[in-house]
Chain A
Amino acid sequence: MNELQFLTWVRGPGLDVAVGIFVLGVAWRLIEIYTLGRRPDLAAPRHAAGASGLHTVFRRSIPPPGMLKRSPVSYIGGYVFHVGLAVIVLFFAPHILLITQLTGLAWPALPSQFVDLVTVVTMAAMLAVLADRIVKPVKRFLSTFEDWFAWTVTFLPVLTGWMAYQHLLLPYTTVLALHILSVEVLLATLPFTKLFHAFTLIGSRWYNGRINAHKGVPV
């Protein structure tokens, strides 16, 4: 298989398989989790301002009092790379083009040089959170193979995408094919790893907020 055949495969059957696993996987996992249901709380509820599932969905995006100081890399690094990933995925012109081809939806892109800068910053933030995971005793203690794996499959699409844009190291066609392949690995593994928090985070925050709101505690 030469470079062109490789690129053709990742753009064709490869993408179909990856998107298929992603869509079915996400649907399956969501059903598997949320159809378990929960028992109604029979205690008489107490009402309090600011206490609800929805409040907690938003409130948890902000560091609780004192926590930023206790773990600055988690919060700052976390914010930067999450926002960075969103900017790269949603506002880089070629990505929008792909989405338009698939769905017909379109929106304005950000200048490529700006996305390039965001990419570098995102990678730096991801390296910082990785270093933090290695250095901090609690994070290192909690880390399993899955944590290192999840970091890697998230980092590779960013790195290869940046290499393709910068025309670094390998021929463009090869890097582009590797970039698409790495995205496919990310898509196919997301539903079955901790990366699935991208979907369950809203449910988790909502449940926590809802369950405690029943007692009148804004959490």
Chain B
Amino acid sequence: MSATLEKGIHALREVIDAPLASYFSSCVHCGLCAEACLFYTETGDPKYTPIHKLEPLRRVYEQEFTLLGRLKKWTGLSKPVTDDELDRWQELVYDSCTLCGRCSLVCPVGNDIVYMVRKLREGMSASGHVPDGIRGATKRTVEVGGPMGLKWPAVANVLKHAEASTGLPIPVDQAGADYLVLLSSMEIVNYPEYIEGLAKIFHKAGLSFTLASDAFEATNAGIQIGNADLARVIVSRIVDAAERLQVKNVLSPECGHAYMAVRWEGPNLIGRPYGFRVVHVLELLDELREKGVLKMKDKFQEPFILHDPCQIVRRGGVLDAPEPLVRTVGENYIPVVDKQKWNWCCGGGGGASAIHTEEAEALRAKAFKVKKRQIEAAGVKTMVTFCANCRIVMEEAIDHYEMDTRLLGLTELLAEHLED
């Protein structure tokens, strides 16, 4: 499928709706959204003001959907959106926006800015203005099965190791299980302890689960790049597997964007509600905690702070599960000032972590300074989170700044301290 400017503009026309029109008509250029964006606060560069990132979309809206804009277009008074412009905007729409949605929380006229950025990406993708890194990840997800090009035999191998080290069976393609467990490639490759932790917790809770050999990947690069057609193909694998295996629940892994893709965008992509429930692993853990199943043999003693991943908490609505869980496992949890839905992004969500240009990496390192200040202000050496992507992005930044900070995944931390 070749990408052209015409297709891009067409895609933008398709995504324009009443909320977007209302948002653009309400903006008074107050610039307060900049104060909520870590790419602005950490660089001081006004071009990173969230609403400015939407300028091409705003002009398409104005020129095609308003009387005055159409008049300006006919009389040649308005500037058409060009390939060259979209090319320059690529950095603003991908490298410097992680779809974290913090801007949508502060706009005084109420604009949901991240809602608009997500829509602009449809046009960027259709017109071919996407970073190579995300393009590659999307291609691998569609063609091979996951953004890192991981195939089932490699996953099966990791599962075998997990079975050996926990002594617990990890069922695959088992129909009728309580939960279909999804993973993210990042977890399979970098944090296989997550799978071991999960096996222990399921065993303890007496719940059955299964993996699907044709739908193990939960992440959806189609959403990050902004291509609803590809996103639909990717999410359909999970829906098909869940329906074939007749599971009651699908368990979204710690990964934030995976949750957004499966829980919130999925039904809208396939055009019908699911016949199963999608549960984030933290929601399940919190349910188990409330039932008293999640008993700890001891507590984690080191002082630590929590990083709330944007797509799970602020954008995903898992607001109340994380804190009770960290308090269950940790003796010395220190809440940060901007926590829960107000937390600052790791700097690499929304596909940004897949962009490996020198500029994008330097920008991510700068954006991390806000997290660095949170860590330093709390005076801790440990940060707990529940998203494999946040974790790897922050580990890279911690190396970059040569900080003495350790990152831990919440699920595996809980599993480690679980009563035997």
Contacts and interface: CB of A to CB of B under 8 A. Distances in A.
Contacts of B268: 39, 41-43
Interface in B240-257: none
A175 interface: no
A105 interface: no
A138 B51 CA distance: 11
B169 interface: no
A167 interface: no
Nearest to B46: A141
Given A36-B18, A38-B18, A197-B109, A204 B317 contact: no
B29 A48 contact: no
B22 interface: yes
A197 B319 contact: no
Given A39-B268, A42-B271, A138-B34, A207 B19 contact: yes
Interface in A31-46: 32-39, 41-44, 46
Interface string B300-341: 000000000000001111010000000000000000011001
Interface in A71-110: 71, 74, 78
A194 B273 contact: no
A71 B112 contact: no
Contact of A205 (B16, B20, B36, B110): B110
Contact of A143 (B20, B29, B271): B29
Given A67-B35, A71-B35, A207-B110, A144 B316 contact: no
A208 B110 contact: yes
B111 interface: yes
A215 interface: yes
A43 B319 contact: no
Contact of A64 (B30, B106, B264, B274): B106
Nearest to B260: A215
Interface string A6-46: 00000000000000000000001100111111110111101
Interface string B1-29: 00000000000000011111111011111
B17 A39 contact: yes
B52 A142 contact: yes
B264 A136 contact: no
B31 A139 contact: yes
B68 interface: yes
Contacts of B271: 42
B67 interface: yes
A52 to B, nearest CB: 13
Contacts of A138: 31, 34, 40, 46, 49
Contact of A215 (B18, B47, B315): B315
Contacts of B49: 138, 141-142
Given A46-B317, A207-B18, A67 B106 contact: yes
Contact of B22 (A28, A147, A150, A200): A200
A42 B52 contact: no
A142 B31 contact: yes
A28 B266 CA distance: 35
B19 A142 contact: no
B115 interface: yes
Interface residues of B, number: 61
Contacts of A61: 108
Nearest to B105: A219
Most A Cβ at <10 Å: residue of B16, B264, B316: B264
A204 B111 contact: yes
Contacts of B40: 138
A31 to B, nearest CB: 10
Contacts of B319: 48, 216-217
A67 B111 contact: no
Interface string A207-219: 1110110011111
A57 interface: yes
Contact of A34 (B18, B31, B34, B110): B18
Nearest to B55: A142
A33 B109 CA distance: 16
Contacts of B272: 42
A201 B109 contact: yes
A56 interface: yes
A216 B65 CA distance: 31
A39 B18 CA distance: 10
A113 B35 CA distance: 39
Contacts of B264: 43, 215
A217 B341 contact: yes
A196 interface: yes
B112 A67 contact: no
11 contacts: A37-B17, A39-B17, A43-B265, A48-B319, A60-B108, A74-B32, A140-B46, A142-B51, A147-B29, A212-B104, A217-B317
Given A143-B29, A201-B26, 20 more contacts: A32-B65, A33-B21, A36-B16, A36-B20, A43-B267, A43-B268, A64-B106, A70-B35, A74-B31, A142-B49, A197-B25, A197-B27, A200-B22, A203-B18, A204-B26, A204-B110, A207-B23, A208-B110, A212-B104, A217-B314
Nearest 5 A-B pairs (CB), nearest first?
Answer: A205-B110, A216-B317, A141-B46, A138-B31, A42-B267
Interface of A: 28-29, 32-39, 41-44, 46, 48, 56-57, 60-61, 64-67, 70-71, 74, 78, 136-144, 147, 150, 192, 194, 196-197, 200-201, 203-209, 211-212, 215-219
